[in-house]
A and B are shown apart, each in its own frame.
Chain A
Amino acid sequence: MALFRRKRRKAKRDLTVEEQLARGPMDLPFLGLVLLLTAIGLIALLSASFAYGMYNPYPDIQDTGGDPYYFFKHQAFFAVAGVGIMLWVSKVDYQRLRWLGAVGLAFSILLLVLVLIPGLGVAANGARRWLKLGVTFQPSEMAKATVVIAFASALSRRKDRKGLPPRKFNRRTAFGRFCEWADKFGFLELVPYGVVLLIILILLAKEPHMSGMILVCIGAASVLFASGISLGWFAALGAVGAGGLWFIITQTEYMTKRIELWLDPLSDLQNGGYQLYQSQVAVGSGGLLGKGLGNSTQKYLYLPEMQNDFVFSIWCEEMGLIGALLLIVIFALLIIRGFWLALHARDRFGTLLVVGFSTLTAAQVAFNMGVVTGAIPTTGISLPFFSYGGTALVVNLAEMGVILSVSRQITAPKSK
């Protein structure tokens, strides 16, 4: 709101340099790819959810009223709204996000705490992920974005410290000596990031929200990685992460079960294995050319939640390998174009922002498709632009808006 007011006050010709930059042209290829994916996503969702909407098999869980277009209508509304928000965000000077990041992060953490409070948080399927404050949404979606923004903002200032002499510590105290020693390895500067990340992860683990944790980590890691944090830390963290993962996979019942299901989806048809199996049936039966758009047979309630995480399997069934590859290519182009924009961004902050969001998008796409095709165990990560879900779609499009905003400030190449 504040942004609007300021704009109104000033006459157009009084624009600052910053503001002039912010009004540069959007990257049209990127915008085109986003719109293309949103459109394909809507079509795919329509086809995938058609039968579910029509048969309305679980009216007490999600009452479609027997309307085959139920999901499509809702999603289309959010898509239109989301595209509007994206365009609006793209016009916002992303430099404002520098301070908004920290505030947003704090706010996200607050929401993550709130969601754990019974009454505010809505539990479903044994997890408390939705916050009901007028509208129902997942605070974890917001956390992902704000972590990227806040980390990008903080890390973009990192280079400013590079030329400075080493910080002084009080060598008389053991703590001081430790700090000095830690600073030499670059450990000290990581502490705040680590603490923030740990807080968020713990809160997410409380929900529990495995996919949220994975994505927050990936978003944060990509920004940290690009900003030049020593590779040694990633190696170390990677080792710790691998160890942790090993522990979780082998020592916690929840994950062991998921892995078992992945290896043999038919071992427990009642709990998720059925879904994995049916997804592979859908993908595999599609073949090279697919059954034709709208002709999926698996969507006739064989594949549970086809409108959520499994839109892609219906897409594969209907459009075949050709259609699946086409979609993958479009996603890949979007991501590569995103990184291209990152490389050309006006400043480090822009670069890191775009890197973070592009990586998040890429990770979601890869995880979702991996699960759907049975390449990796179930994670519960939805496919951006395709899966049914208003919050996710709007947040995704808003993130794209941020990238577009960064693209506006790329300095035009000098004329030859």
Chain B
Amino acid sequence: MERQQQQQPQRHRGDHGRSNRSLFRRTVCLMLVMGIGIFTPLIAQLVRLQIVEHDTWEQRAVSQQTKNVTLGANRGTIYDTQGRVMAISATVYRLILSPNAVLKSIDQDDYPDKEGKTYEQALAERRNLIVNWLAATFGYDRDRLVQRIEFTKSGYEILAYEMEEEQAELVRQFTSENHISNMLYLEPTSKRYYPYSSVGSHVLGFMNQNENSGDRKVGAQGVEAIYEDALSGEVGRVVISKNAQGVEMMSGYEMYFDAENGYDVTLSIDERIQAILENALAEGVETYNVTDGAFAIALDPNTGAVLGMASCPKFDPNDYADITDTFLQEQLQQIAAANGTDSDAYKEAVSAAFSLQLRNKALMDTYEPGSVFKPITVAIGLEEQILSMDDTYYCGGVKVVGGWPIHCHQHSGHGMQTLTKAVENSCNVALMDMAEKIGADTYWKYLEDFGFLDATGIDLSGEAKCILHSEEEFTGPYGAASLATYSFGQTIKVTPIRLITTWASLINGGHLLEPYVVSSIRDSAGNTVYSHGVKEIRQVISQSTSEKVQSIVQAVVNEGSGHNAYQAGYRIAGKTGTSEKKDEDTGDVVCSFMGYAPYDDPKVLVLMAFDAPERSASNSNYTPSGTYISGGNITAPVAGRVLKEILDYMGVERKFTESELASSDVSMRNVVGQELSVAMGTLRSANLNFRYIGAGNIVTDQIPSGGTRIPGGSTVILYLGDEKPTGLVPVPDLSGLSPDAAKSKLEEDGLFLRMSGTTGSGSKAVYQNIAVGTEVPMGTVVDVQFGDTIIDYDGDPSGAVPNP
């Protein structure tokens, strides 16, 4: 710089000097600005990007540059307790259309000349190719497809979510033939299959996407949801660096994260038992036009293992949004017919039906259990030795509690009765007396001990809490009415699962257990990683109290209000319940039955209830078909049959009393060719009656043929001389007939009767296993269930005590 200043005055003078100084100053000024000034903000910006925000940008770079290939962690399979596959995953495909890629595949610069087409024509041609093929092959709506393919902003239109391999192969062929595999392509994804469709749907749950899972489907209910972590496993990943066109980078890298397959879950549920429950519910619901659904639980009372848990209406987890229940479908059709399918009313109804069918009533609903609760009251009194088996109770038809008259369902009263008889009669007055003796404080303590204040802890989500009065209210001065109504199971609302768990403790020696639906979990190598043993919460009552309660409920089926559940040889015990839905004020009732078998060694405990069977009129207690609406008439026969089927399935040996033995099945002897007198002796010794057709001394034919098992005491047909059996006969209508009448009506036609249920003189046929009019060969055995009309109404018609 010094040099410069020396030189300049030498070369220039005067004004020139001033001018040159200005040039010098300004150039130096520019030098500073251009050489240093403008780079300063740049450096600041670089520091910000590369140092301060480095992590953010690197994250963004990595996320766009790496292809995350997920390695399929197969979702675990769900087995029932017998190893039947209840839920299994398989690979399916998503069909993706990229309207943007379609648009870009036609280069505007090539047109209008290329192949004599304009750009628009070429684009339309390609779009039509795709749209037409999709519409023709998969039947997609053409207009909708056109709309979507013209939405060119999008590069990712999902046309199908779960495409099976066969269809996927068609897509692959089509796209490779036409070189459009960047516009229409498949993405593998997995689909859950439920081989038994709706069986066990509420327990199994289903798969869908939620707000956190993104486009991955996760378990949404039941076991699928609660055991999501165990079932889903760890999705493995290969991270591959890729270029912007998705091709692997040349100098790229790969990282592997091994996939860990999901664990297999074994349920305590048995598919067969589950199906038995569901079929029984469906049949009951249809027979009695039950309006508010039904539920049933089968529990192993000794372990707490849930063998079956059914709720009606149910859904098909393969397509959980589809309304399959016929009752709901009818309702929807009615609304659709009245308002049209576009109406808000219809949409609301659809969404209501949808959430209704997903609802596991056995777990999520509470109801007033009614008389089914009575053995609990008795158990409390017996355990506290406030009650004794020898106590007697007088029922005059009404008891005044806290100034309110509370009626027995039998307004005339039951008179004098023993404790057992009082339960058999389902006498409300006697139960109120007992509760009064026990006292509110003790009663409340046992409600706590029996777990009514807690959830059962079952491994399913959505368990409701029982609804009780508060302790202060219940044990306080105004609690007398609550105590009285609790004693027969009104004004207390319990969940079915809680009720059956508590009931299990009544019959298993007093052990309150934790119910469960998943018995074990195994990893993919087969190692058991979890197993649910018997988990006892506490012992609530003693073994001896439990035995006493068992003897009482045994009598209910054998002699009392539950006798419609009777099945010869199966030793069923239980209690019916017909409870008012007080909070609804509709007069509808819940008809329920809690029973177990065999009573000397309980293998299964079943709770079954139908919520609001249709009544013939709003003030009527009868169904339109004339059945008195009560747990004893509606639920007990169905539940008895269910218990029979379950025990048969479980292979529990039947034990008959002597009278039962008389009608137990015997084997038909072959008497063809024998002399009539010899044949008669043979049949008599086999406990069979006979009649003969034709004349002669030699038996030429017989119905049934030798070896056929028919109930003892049946009348077989012997043919003498030239007479021959006439072949097929239609099964007659037996409904409403007494056992004797039914027997003779069947035997007239050469058919045999196998009776079940109550077979007293007042019994009437309520169920036959072969439909009326079916053509069957002569000699066929028809199973007929008989039942009595039982009036046991828990509610107090005056409605004295409000619900909690």
Tell me, rounded to whole Å, the shortest Cβ–Cβ distance linking B50 to chain A: 4
B residues 9-46 touching A (CB-CB < 8 Å): 14-16, 19-20, 22-24, 26-28, 30-31, 34-36, 38-39, 41-43, 45-46
A52-73, CB under 8 A of B: which get 1 and which 0? 0011010010000000000000
B39 CB contact (under 8 Å) in A55, A222, A316, A328: A328
Interface SS of chain B: helix
B107 CB-CB contact with A under 8 Å = yes
B244 CB-CB contact with A under 8 Å = yes
Report the bound CA distance from A332 to B242 in whole Å.
37
Closest chain A residue to B22 by CB distance? A228
B60 touching A321, Cβ below 8 Å: no
B64 touching A281, Cβ below 8 Å: yes
A51 CB-CB contact with B under 8 Å = yes
Q: A51-B250, A302-B244, A362-B38 are in contact. Are A340 and B46 (CB under 8 A)?
A: no
Tell me, rounded to whole Å, the shortest Cβ–Cβ distance linking A273 to chain B: 14
B residues 49-100 touching A (CB-CB < 8 Å): 49-51, 53-54, 56-58, 60-62, 64-65
B685 CB-CB contact with A under 8 Å = no
B residues 430-472 touching A (CB-CB < 8 Å): none
Tell me, rounded to whole Å, the shortest Cβ–Cβ distance linking B358 to chain A: 40
Tell me, rounded to whole Å, the shortest Cβ–Cβ distance linking A126 to chain B: 13
Report the bound CA distance from A332 to B35 in whole Å.
5
Tell me, rounded to whole Å, the shortest Cβ–Cβ distance linking B633 to chain A: 70
A375 CB contact (under 8 Å) in B41, B242, B251: B41
A43 CB-CB contact with B under 8 Å = no
Q: A283-B50, A285-B61, A342-B27 are in contact. Are A413 and B245 (CB under 8 A)?
A: no
- Residues of the A chain whose Cβ atoms lie less than 8 Å from the Cβ of B51: 287-288, 321
Tell me, rounded to whole Å, the shortest Cβ–Cβ distance linking B2 to chain A: 10
A328 touching B43, Cβ below 8 Å: yes
A297 CB contact (under 8 Å) in B4, B23, B31, B241: B241
Interface centre among A282, A286, A331 (most CB of B within 10 A): A286
Closest chain B residue to A155 by CB distance? B23
A351 CB-CB contact with B under 8 Å = yes
A301 touching B243, Cβ below 8 Å: yes
A107 CB-CB contact with B under 8 Å = no
B3 CB-CB contact with A under 8 Å = yes
A366 touching B42, Cβ below 8 Å: yes
Report the bound CA distance from A328 to B3 in whole Å.
29
Interface residues on B, range: 35 or more
B27 touching A284, Cβ below 8 Å: no
A60 CB contact (under 8 Å) in B4, B20, B107, B251: B107
- Residues of the B chain whose Cβ atoms lie less than 8 Å from the Cβ of A358: 31, 34
B170 CB-CB contact with A under 8 Å = no
- Residues of the A chain whose Cβ atoms lie less than 8 Å from the Cβ of B58: 284-285, 287
A320 CB-CB contact with B under 8 Å = yes
- Residues of the B chain whose Cβ atoms lie less than 8 Å from the Cβ of A374: 45, 49
A239 CB-CB contact with B under 8 Å = no
Closest chain A residue to B31 by CB distance? A339
Q: A284-B56, A285-B57, A300-B249 are in contact. Are A324 and B34 (CB under 8 A)?
A: no
- Residues of the A chain whose Cβ atoms lie less than 8 Å from the Cβ of B38: 362-363, 366
B19 touching A373, Cβ below 8 Å: no
Tell me, rounded to whole Å, the shortest Cβ–Cβ distance linking A214 to chain B: 13
Report the bound CA distance from A413 to B20 in whole Å.
19
Interface centre among B19, B45, B61, B241 (most CB of A within 10 A): B61
- Residues of the A chain whose Cβ atoms lie less than 8 Å from the Cβ of B39: 328, 331-332, 366
- Residues of the B chain whose Cβ atoms lie less than 8 Å from the Cβ of A227: 23
B30 touching A226, Cβ below 8 Å: yes
Report the bound CA distance from A18 to B49 in whole Å.
51
B109 CB-CB contact with A under 8 Å = yes
Tell me, rounded to whole Å, the shortest Cβ–Cβ distance linking B53 to chain A: 6
Closest chain A residue to B21 by CB distance? A228
A261-298, CB under 8 A of B: which get 1 and which 0? 00000000000000000001111111110000011011
Q: A343-B28, A369-B42 are in contact. Are A413 and B243 (CB under 8 A)?
A: no
A301 touching B244, Cβ below 8 Å: yes
Q: A228-B19, A280-B57, A281-B57 are in contact. Are A302 and B64 (CB under 8 A)?
A: yes
Q: A226-B27, A332-B35, A370-B42 are in contact. Are A280 and B49 (CB under 8 A)?
A: yes
A325 CB-CB contact with B under 8 Å = yes
Tell me, rounded to whole Å, the shortest Cβ–Cβ distance linking B213 to chain A: 25
What is the size, in residues, of chain A's interface with B at 8 Å between Cβ atoms?
A: 59
A297 touching B65, Cβ below 8 Å: yes
- Residues of the B chain whose Cβ atoms lie less than 8 Å from the Cβ of A316: 46, 49-50
A411 CB-CB contact with B under 8 Å = yes
A356-381, CB under 8 A of B: which get 1 and which 0? 00110011001001100111000000
- Residues of the B chain whose Cβ atoms lie less than 8 Å from the Cβ of A408: none
A118 CB-CB contact with B under 8 Å = no
Q: A55-B245, A287-B50, A335-B35 are in contact. Are A281 and B61 (CB under 8 A)?
A: yes
Closest chain A residue to B38 by CB distance? A366
B residues 401-453 touching A (CB-CB < 8 Å): none
B525 CB-CB contact with A under 8 Å = no
- Residues of the B chain whose Cβ atoms lie less than 8 Å from the Cβ of A325: 43, 46
B617 CB-CB contact with A under 8 Å = no
- Residues of the A chain whose Cβ atoms lie less than 8 Å from the Cβ of B243: 51, 55, 300-302
- Residues of the A chain whose Cβ atoms lie less than 8 Å from the Cβ of B19: 159, 162, 228
Interface centre among A159, A320, A363 (most CB of B within 10 A): A159
Tell me, rounded to whole Å, the shortest Cβ–Cβ distance linking A222 to chain B: 6
Tell me, rounded to whole Å, the shortest Cβ–Cβ distance linking B240 to chain A: 12
Report the bound CA distance from A211 to B251 in whole Å.
36
Report the bound CA distance from A366 to B245 in whole Å.
32
Report the bound CA distance from A369 to B46 in whole Å.
9
A355 CB-CB contact with B under 8 Å = yes
Report the bound CA distance from A319 to B54 in whole Å.
14
Tell me, rounded to whole Å, the shortest Cβ–Cβ distance linking B266 to chain A: 47
A282 touching B245, Cβ below 8 Å: no
Report the bound CA distance from A226 to B250 in whole Å.
51
A193 CB-CB contact with B under 8 Å = no
A163 CB-CB contact with B under 8 Å = yes
B43 touching A226, Cβ below 8 Å: no
Tell me, rounded to whole Å, the shortest Cβ–Cβ distance linking B772 to chain A: 72
- Residues of the B chain whose Cβ atoms lie less than 8 Å from the Cβ of A281: 57, 60-61, 64
Report the bound CA distance from A340 to B32 in whole Å.
11
- Residues of the A chain whose Cβ atoms lie less than 8 Å from the Cβ of B27: 226, 339, 342-343, 351, 355
B47 CB-CB contact with A under 8 Å = yes
B30 touching A359, Cβ below 8 Å: yes
Report the bound CA distance from A324 to B51 in whole Å.
12
Q: A285-B60, A285-B61, A288-B51 are in contact. Are A332 and B36 (CB under 8 A)?
A: yes
A162 touching B26, Cβ below 8 Å: no
B287-325, CB under 8 A of A: which get 1 and which 0? 000000000000000000000000000000000000000
- Residues of the A chain whose Cβ atoms lie less than 8 Å from the Cβ of B57: 280-281, 283-285
A285 touching B23, Cβ below 8 Å: no
A373 touching B47, Cβ below 8 Å: no
Tell me, rounded to whole Å, the shortest Cβ–Cβ distance linking B23 to chain A: 6
A336 CB-CB contact with B under 8 Å = yes
Tell me, rounded to whole Å, the shortest Cβ–Cβ distance linking B30 to chain A: 6
Interface centre among B23, B38, B57 (most CB of A within 10 A): B23
B65 touching A339, Cβ below 8 Å: no
Tell me, rounded to whole Å, the shortest Cβ–Cβ distance linking A318 to chain B: 12
- Residues of the B chain whose Cβ atoms lie less than 8 Å from the Cβ of A335: 31, 34-35
The contact sample of 11 A-B pairs, CB cut-off 8 A, is A54-B250, A281-B64, A282-B61, A287-B51, A297-B61, A300-B241, A325-B46, A328-B39, A342-B27, A355-B30, A375-B41
- Give the 5 A-B CB pairs with smallest separation, nearest first: A284-B57, A339-B31, A300-B243, A362-B34, A301-B244
A-B contacts besides A300-B243, A328-B43, 11 pairs, CB < 8 Å: A162-B16, A280-B57, A281-B64, A287-B50, A324-B46, A324-B50, A336-B36, A339-B30, A339-B34, A369-B42, A375-B42
Residues of B within 8 A of A (CB): 3-4, 7, 14-16, 19-20, 22-24, 26-28, 30-31, 34-36, 38-39, 41-43, 45-47, 49-51, 53-54, 56-58, 60-62, 64-65, 107, 109, 241-245, 247, 249-251
